[in-house]
Amino acid sequence: MKLNVIDIKQNQLLTTTMLVLVALLLFGSNIYNHQIYGHNFAGDESATFLALMDQIQTEMDLININLVANNQPLAKEHLNNIDELYTKNIKKEIAERNERIANEITSVINETKLAIEKNNQDISSSIENFNDIIGEAISIRIDSDALTNATIHALHFANLINSIDLTYADALGTKPMNMSAMNMKDDDNSMSHGNNTNSSSNSNNNNTMSDMKMNQGVSSMASMNNDTNNNSNATENGTVTNIASYQTAKELTNKTIELFNSTIKQNIPSNVTENANAIESGLQQLKEMIGSKAPYDKVMGIIHGIIQTNTLEIFNLPLKTSK
């Protein structure tokens, strides 16, 4: 049976298409393409504020941990991170709601600076006071309805995950393959991290916002003490080059798991338990990988290939459109 010209052209087109698809699959299997794993979620001011306050509290807790371990240089690095996170714009924003709270946050930061200079190894009361003030800042900055909104907390969670991506990349001295955390913002607000390789430009942006209270655990203290007392060991393996960022990535991972267990999990519908289990498993893998100083591409694959993808599917999060 003879094929007419149309049939021949259709067969040629089909063959060409299949070859292109095969080539793309082969190419994709050999690289970690950040366009595949990247998730650029549209920003929400409340979610970004919550995530930023999480970061600030995390840095404050790490100052305490490093002072207890008698490591002033690392404590100072975490204080520098707070200075970059708690900008004049953020203070102004909080002051517009309640000037006392904004001033008290600044006061505790200044007191912490003096404690580092004097090598005061016990600032636990300041930490407790700071967490109370941050709690007040959240209550005056974010409406009660927003604090019970599942989508806002999902975006809060996604922001923290992206912060882990950025800080872990910085810990390994590499540029993050995914820059989605930079895009999880409103037009006038963005979130940065002091140790990120792009922090010099991001620190000039208007950072927005906050968190829930974090209790510092004994196990976390012991884990971080190992890091502070073994700086040379952490760099000799050729992986970690920035101890402060590594500590931040580990603590943010603990805080993110805390958020998932306390808030996110309760908001997940029963018909997507498979996705929820995938996130839970992914978080555990993430913690283990960061704890073992795994290569960045593997950590990034867990973050954007498992955790963010399933979060997106569960909560149908809005993606940021390119401009």
Confidence at residue 19, expressed as pLDDT on a 0 to 100 scale: 36
- Name every residue whose Cβ is closer than 8 Å to that of residue 149 and which is 6 or more positions away in sequence: 46
Confidence at residue 282, expressed as pLDDT on a 0 to 100 scale: 97
Q: What is the 3-state secondary structure (H, E, C) of 125-155?
A: HHHHHHHHHHHHHHHHHCCHHHHCCHHHHHH
Cβ-contact 164, 286 below 8 angstroms: yes
The token pair that represents 238 in the structure block: 């050729």
**Model pTM score:** 0.71
Confidence at residue 171, expressed as pLDDT on a 0 to 100 scale: 96
Q: Name the β-bridge partners of 207.
A: 190
Confidence at residue 295, expressed as pLDDT on a 0 to 100 scale: 93
Confidence at residue 26, expressed as pLDDT on a 0 to 100 scale: 32
Cβ-contact 102, 95 below 8 angstroms: yes
| Whole-number CA gyration radius for the chain | 22
Gap between the Cα atoms of 273 and 100, Å rounded: 44
Confidence at residue 24, expressed as pLDDT on a 0 to 100 scale: 33
Confidence at residue 215, expressed as pLDDT on a 0 to 100 scale: 33
Gap between the Cα atoms of 98 and 313, Å rounded: 38
> Domain residue spans in the chain?
44-315
- Name every residue whose Cβ is closer than 8 Å to that of residue 300 and which is 6 or more positions away in sequence: 32, 34, 37, 165, 169, 176, 177, 178
First to last CA, the chain: 54
Confidence at residue 4, expressed as pLDDT on a 0 to 100 scale: 54
φ, ψ for residue 179 (rounded to 5)?
Answer: -110, 25
- Name every residue whose Cβ is closer than 8 Å to that of residue 164 and which is 6 or more positions away in sequence: 249, 252, 253, 256, 286, 290, 303
The token pair that represents 208 in the structure block: 């927005």
Residues of the chain falling short of pLDDT 70: 1-43, 178-238, 318-323
